[in-house]
Amino acid sequence: MGNSTEPEKIGGQEPGKCSAPPEQILVVGIDDDATILEFYKSVLGSLGVRYESSEEPARGLELVETLDPALVLLDLNMEGMDGLEVLEHIRARNIQTQVVMITGNYSIETAVEAIRQGATDYVCKPVSIEKLRGLVEQARLAAHHFQRAESLEKELIQVFALEAIIGHSPRMLEVFDLLQRIAPHFRTALILGETGTGKELVARALHNLSPRKAQRLAVCNCAAMVESLVESQLFGHRKGAFTGALEDRVGLFEWANGGTIFLDEIADLTPATQSKLLRVLENREVHKLGSPQPQHVDVLVVAATSRDLSQEVKSGKFRPDLWYRLNMVQVELPPLRDRRDDILLLCRHFLDKFGEEYAKEVRGFSPRAQNALQAYTWPGNVRELENVIGRACMLLRGKFIDLDDLPDSVKESALSGSDSTLTMQDAEKVALLRTLGVTKNRVLAARMLGISRAKLYRLLEKYGIDSEASADEKQEESDSFTFPPDEHLP
């Protein structure tokens, strides 16, 4: 359809003259005055910008949530919901949309409040065409930067991945380093870590990084096997070896010959199977059930458990010789709560994964959802995090995951932040220390906390907080007055 002699126009401008990147952006207008919305429509239409609008603040919010516009032109005084309230709702959920407050009555206080709440600009009516054009270009540029940041984040995930394992915390970088060093040489390796820390992922990575990559990887969950069939499954059997053995069966060791076998939940093996396994590891031979002839096998063995094997050895449930044998190379995966730096990277990774799976454009997390995800203790580790993000992506209607899209357990951690174990007294002490840290001045701190100076001094004494009066403070103490006066404060 394009005419080769005619330069393609972008946003009403020729490409060479376009100062902003050429993204097609969407603008939403929210105003209870229909003529203003019409005005936006005609100007934005002439600029080639997509536009949606609503006279109803609640409906406008819905549009913002579902359409994720680059720019919202938001009236300050509306019936039903105040513009600042709409702004607060938008900001809580969405971090990329630019919100410009439009007002008929300029007030410096409201302007400051709007900017403080995250408005990009505060503009008086009537809005000129030039101003609108400027706002659109600014939003286009911001959308471009946001997209660039998103794609950099995706690249970052690639950088901080070893095989399919994602992590950039110092603990995980150590694990990556260890895996890369052992993969070319190991014959047996033991992976330890709580449930959901990625033991199977690491086992697969070890195989893929080993010289046996092109050979088979047999995965065997020792806990899931029927006890009476474990040996037959691992080592195979000859026809007639036991009742029900109607034909020869190849065991996993033989099947994976030349490759790798992953023995998951190794602590669940019975003592009899443990000793047979030890023999396989030591002699590289398997005895098929019912066969007098041992068979040579050459496999790499990766074992994993979430139990404390040294404890199992002490209590006599696990053979010490097998433990020593497996323990020659040990990889310990830290629980997620001990590598919080990885949480947001993993969240981003699963967001991309599930967004693709559910064919949804999920762009990110609201700041408060991010806080909750980071503060939660993740007893189920990465598996739990994966499930939480998967569920949120599946149910999500908008483009950003908010607090309400997270399960109660995670949501609750947002209320307490990282201080999830604080008592009221601890919280009081933390509030004192933080406020003094910011103000460096006890008079100001008392004012910020909304308590009298006398009460502040009592609390400092109670918690043994040693704070010297600053020079400013001494001056202020002598000539300041407090509003409300101290005697009216608690």
Ligand X SMILES: Nc1ncnc2c1ncn2[C@@H]1O[C@H](COP(=O)(O)OP(=O)(O)OP(=O)(O)O)[C@@H](O)[C@H]1O
d(CA 204, CA 190): 13
Instruction: Please answer whether residues 57 and 33 qualify as being in contact, where contact means their C-beta atoms are separated by less than 8 angstroms.
Output: no
Using Cβ positions, the residue closest to Mg ion within the complex turns out to be: 200
Residue (306 or 467) nearer to ligand X, CB? 306
What distances in angstroms separate CA 335 from CA 168, 342, 475, one per listed residue?
14, 11, 51
Among 56, 85, 150, 200, binds ligand X (CB under 6 A): 200
CA terminus-to-terminus distance, the chain: 74
Per CB under 6 A, contacts with ligand X among 25-54 are: none
If one asks whether residue 306 binds ligand X (CB under 6 A), the answer comes out as yes
Residue (201 or 422) nearer to ligand X, CB? 201
Which one of ligand X, Mg ion, none interacts with residue 137, CB within 5 to 8 A by kind? Answer: none
d(CA 83, CA 216): 62
Q: What interhelical angle do 199-209 and 170-182 show, nearest 10?
A: 40
Residue (199 or 212) nearer to ligand X, CB? 199
Residue (41 or 353) nearer to ligand X, CB? 353
d(CA 296, CA 81): 77
Which one of ligand X, Mg ion, none interacts with residue 52, CB within 5 to 8 A by kind? Answer: none
If one asks whether residue 383 binds ligand X (CB under 6 A), the answer comes out as yes
If one asks whether residue 195 binds ligand X (CB under 6 A), the answer comes out as yes
If one asks whether residue 174 binds ligand X (CB under 6 A), the answer comes out as no
d(CA 101, CA 83): 8
d(CA 384, CA 373): 11
Q: Which range in 200-208, 317-325, 382-390, 481-489 contacts Mg ion by CB under 5 A?
A: 200-208
If one asks whether residue 334 binds ligand X (CB under 6 A), the answer comes out as no
Instruction: Please answer whether residues 261 and 269 qualify as being in contact, where contact means their C-beta atoms are separated by less than 8 angstroms.
Output: no
Residue 474, token pair as written in the block: 């001494």
Among 200, 312, 321, 412, binds Mg ion (CB under 5 A): 200
d(CA 429, CA 464): 10
Which one of Mg ion, ligand X, none interacts with residue 103, CB within 5 to 8 A by kind? Answer: none
Which one of Mg ion, ligand X, none interacts with residue 173, CB within 5 to 8 A by kind? Answer: none
Which one of ligand X, Mg ion, none interacts with residue 322, CB within 5 to 8 A by kind? Answer: none
If one asks whether residue 225 binds ligand X (CB under 6 A), the answer comes out as no
Q: Which range in 78-86, 177-185, 199-207, 370-378 contacts Mg ion by CB under 5 A?
A: 199-207
Instruction: Please answer whether residues 166 and 336 qualify as being in contact, where contact means their C-beta atoms are separated by less than 8 angstroms.
Output: no
Residue (137 or 342) nearer to ligand X, CB? 342
Residue (199 or 276) nearer to ligand X, CB? 199
Q: How far is the CB of 306 from ligand X (least distance, A)?
A: 4
If one asks whether residue 127 binds ligand X (CB under 6 A), the answer comes out as no
Per CB under 6 A, contacts with ligand X among 426-485 are: none
Q: Which range in 122-130, 192-200, 249-257, 438-446 contacts Mg ion by CB under 5 A?
A: 192-200
Among 201, 245, 344, 448, binds ligand X (CB under 6 A): 201
Residue (265 or 473) nearer to ligand X, CB? 265
Q: Which range in 53-61, 190-198, 228-236, 422-430 contacts ligand X by CB under 6 A?
A: 190-198
d(CA 263, CA 220): 5
| Residues that contact ligand X, how many (by CB under 6 A) | 16
- The residue whose two tokens read 């607060």 is 88
If one asks whether residue 123 binds ligand X (CB under 6 A), the answer comes out as no
Using Cβ positions, the residue closest to ligand X within the complex turns out to be: 198
Q: How far is the CB of 196 from ligand X (least distance, A)?
A: 5
If one asks whether residue 196 binds ligand X (CB under 6 A), the answer comes out as yes
Among 57, 60, 193, 259, binds ligand X (CB under 6 A): 193
Per CB under 5 A, contacts with Mg ion among 89-108 are: none
Which one of Mg ion, ligand X, none interacts with residue 165, CB within 5 to 8 A by kind? Answer: ligand X
Residue 118, token pair as written in the block: 């995250």
Cis peptide before 335 (omega within 30 of 0): no
Contact set with Mg ion (CB under 5 A): 199-200
Contact set with ligand X (CB under 6 A): 165-167, 193, 195-201, 306, 346, 382-383, 386
